[in-house]
Amino acid sequence: MTATELDPYLRPTPCVESDAPAVRAFTARVTEGAETARERAVRLFYAVRDEIRYDPYGVVLTQEFLRASAVLERGAGFCVAKAIVLAAGARAVGIPARLGFSDVRNHLTTERLRAQMGTDVFAYHGFTELHLDGRWVKATPTFNRSLCDRFGVKALEFDGEHDSLLHPFDTAGQRHMEYLQDRGSHADVPLEDMQRVFAEHYPGMVAGHSGEGDFEREASSERAR
């Protein structure tokens, strides 16, 4: 892509606020001493993956809730929120970044979340695409390592060269994740369409809000049965 084509993926947006002080402080700490764009991208991936706890509850589909600085302040977020932080951090250090979305079927959710959603299909699963060495590379920082350990799933790794996508099977060989539908790549969150799709897919949730919970504790409890 040309510099002009990449420019939208370097600019701050309402959610991918790469110019926010909290984002810049987080990024500076994580990438200190990194000498290459790839090394900075890898460090950012692992920091977002493990320092921001995955939480599918309490989701609110508003710009205020999804701002990168707000996610950092909470220290937790669902897949889209974590992808936003990674994209914002990348842009803050000059790496073009965009948000990718797909519908996925998650075979390793919890009983409570399945009941609230009414399905095991997660619409608008979010990940990050980083432009490194002249091409786009997918990075999925969704599940922190401690959660993966409780679910019996290998934590995703990222080397800045190969796509990092959710595993189709867990460590026991059971189905884990299926990619069903590609919803494209965006410079910022396609909020209006997400709100529409969530309302269609998850009528049991109120305005896309699933309440409060401890997903890691639920995972541990169900695996112990």
Q: What is the pLDDT along the chain (225 residues), one digit of tens a residue?
A: 899 999 999 999 999 999 999 999 999 999 999 999 999 999 999 999 999 999 988 789 999 999 999 999 999 999 999 999 999 999 999 999 999 999 999 866 777 887 778 888 999 999 999 999 999 999 999 999 998 888 888 899 999 999 999 888 777 787 778 999 999 999 999 999 999 999 998 876 644 444 555 676 666 665 555
Exposure pattern of 114-148 as b/e (b: 16+ CB <10 Å)? eebbeeebbbbbbbbbbbbeeebbbbbbbbbeebb
**Which regions of 107-157 does DSSP assign to beta strands (E)?**
121-132, 135-139
- What is the per-residue pLDDT for 213? 59
Helices (H), the chain: 3-6, 21-31, 37-51, 63-66, 68-74, 79-92, 111-117, 145-151, 191-201, 215-224
The number of residues making up the chain comes to 225
- What is the per-residue pLDDT for 172? 75
- What is the per-residue pLDDT for 208? 42
Residue 223 tokens, joined = 């695996």
For the chain, list the domains and their CATH numbers: 9-224 (3.10.620.30)
Residue 99 tokens, joined = 């948000």
Exposure pattern of 40-64 as b/e (b: 16+ CB <10 Å)? bbbbbbbbbbbebbbbbbebebeee
CA–CA distance from 188 to each of 69, 101, 121, 220 (Å)? 15, 11, 23, 34
